[in-house]
Amino acid sequence: MTGRYAPHGPTPDAFEGDRFQILALDGGGAKALFTAHVLAHIEDDLGVRITDHFDLVAGTSAGGIVALGLGAGLRPKAIAEHFGDLVNRVFPARLQRKARLGRLSKPAYDSDALHEVLVEVLGERALGDSCLRLVIPSWDLQRGEVHIFKTRHSERLTRDWRIKMVDVALATAAAPTFFRAARVNDSPLIDGGVWANNPSVVAIGEAVSMLGVPLDAIRVLNVGTMEPFTANTDPLESAGVLGWGTKAVDTILNASSRGGMGTAMHLVGFDDFVRFDAPVPPGKFALDRIKAKSVRGYASTTSRNLAPEFTAKFADHVAPGFTPLPPPTPRSGPCSDPTPEGDS
């Protein structure tokens, strides 16, 4: 897709079509196992391939790992299996108490273990190998700026397609105090959840600004990661560091998700934004602690409720196949490399 560029950013060609559907997957650490199971149940219940119905997939943190798995061509059921293995190997129960204490002075968990599991699943695939348009938020720690990984779905996007999916996954999931920052092209990147735990607004912005999609053509399915009921917050009103503890992280992530959800609803309209999540008791799950059987139960119930709404609002749209733009090539001219003698 070619486009004209204004001072405020790209002005792409007009969108052709009557609908553009976005799948937005929240961050949530180990709790993103819920997301993978929900999508797997939808496929099984309705006999569909979930990715056939979405023009753009956005995922933050562990939701970004799920999104990358979909972009690599994996079905949600396979992603759920791999993700369960990831949780067991990266957040082993025997280390969780020690890890929580260790977070006071260093990251709690081993990024190398996460890298090892991701390589087994995603291999050597680059972002440019994705079969879906992807948008994966991260945060540049050194520059203090938003960093968003994107497939090559616009001429303006010239670098990310070369980056390995594994490196993108490490960057979007590098939660502070849990993992060390990921180095991608020498930039220290951390978890996209610090600013966009719910990537719905990021995806809507991408569709409008980079792909020329009008807001009234956009429909969004947003899947959360088991948000806890509101607990008694009275003690937090005057709490310090010890009182807030890990509750600060949970509050920031929930606030980010809720804020993104509310803004997205106002942008595309309440009828065209569907969020599914499972409210759970406070403390039942954590970013590094889940019970897989219990997660499967919540996912089963939630997906049972989601199936009719998916059929009513999303199933009738079949997204055209995504073909990434070819890699940029240098223009020929007087400074081009000379043709070696003997070559034709």
3-state DSSP assignment of residue 86: helix
Q: What is the mean pLDDT of residues 2-30?
A: 75
What pLDDT is attached to residue 5?
Answer: 42
User: Active-site positions?
Assistant: 61, 191
Is the pLDDT at 344 greater than 80? The verdict is no
What pLDDT is attached to residue 68?
Answer: 98
Is the pLDDT at 137 greater than 60? The verdict is yes
Q: Are 90 and 58 in contact (CB under 8 A)?
A: no
Total Cβ atoms within 10 A of residue 192: 32
What pLDDT is attached to residue 245?
Answer: 65
Is the pLDDT at 298 greater than 80? The verdict is yes
Chain centroid offset of residue 219 CA: 17
What pLDDT is attached to residue 1?
Answer: 40
What pLDDT is attached to residue 6?
Answer: 45
What pLDDT is attached to residue 139?
Answer: 96
Q: Are 275 and 261 in contact (CB under 8 A)?
A: yes
pLDDT band of residue 7 (cuts 50, 70, 90) is very low
Is the pLDDT at 17 greater than 70? The verdict is yes
Point out the least confidently predicted range of 125-129, 139-143, 283-287.
283-287
What pLDDT is attached to residue 219?
Answer: 97
What is the residue-wise DSSP string for 256-281? HHHHHHHHHHHHH-GGGEEEE---B-
What pLDDT is attached to residue 339?
Answer: 52
3-state DSSP assignment of residue 161: helix
Mean pLDDT of the chain, nearest integer:
86
> What pairs with residue 139 in β-bridges?
146, 190
**Nearest-angstrom CA–CA distance, 289 and 136:** 24
Is the pLDDT at 337 greater than 70? The verdict is no
**Nearest-angstrom CA–CA distance, 181 and 166:** 14
Is the pLDDT at 108 greater than 90? The verdict is no
Percent of the chain with pLDDT over 70: 83
pLDDT band of residue 259 (cuts 50, 70, 90) is confident
Is the pLDDT at 255 greater than 90? The verdict is no
Dihedral (C-alpha) 195, 40, 318, 159: value to the nearest 10 degrees?
40
Q: What is the mean pLDDT of residues 334-338?
A: 60
3-state DSSP assignment of residue 235: helix
Mind listing the pLDDT tens digit for each residue in 164-184? 999 999 999 999 989 999 999
Backbone angles phi, psi at 84, to 5 degrees: -60, -40
Task: Write the CB contacts of 182 (distance below 8 Å, at least 6 apart in sequence).
Answer: 111, 138, 167, 170, 171, 174, 188, 189, 190
What pLDDT is attached to residue 258?
Answer: 77
Q: What is the pTM assigned to this prediction?
A: 0.89
**Nearest-angstrom CA–CA distance, 48 and 41:** 10
Mind listing the pLDDT tens digit for each residue in 111-123? 999 999 999 999 9
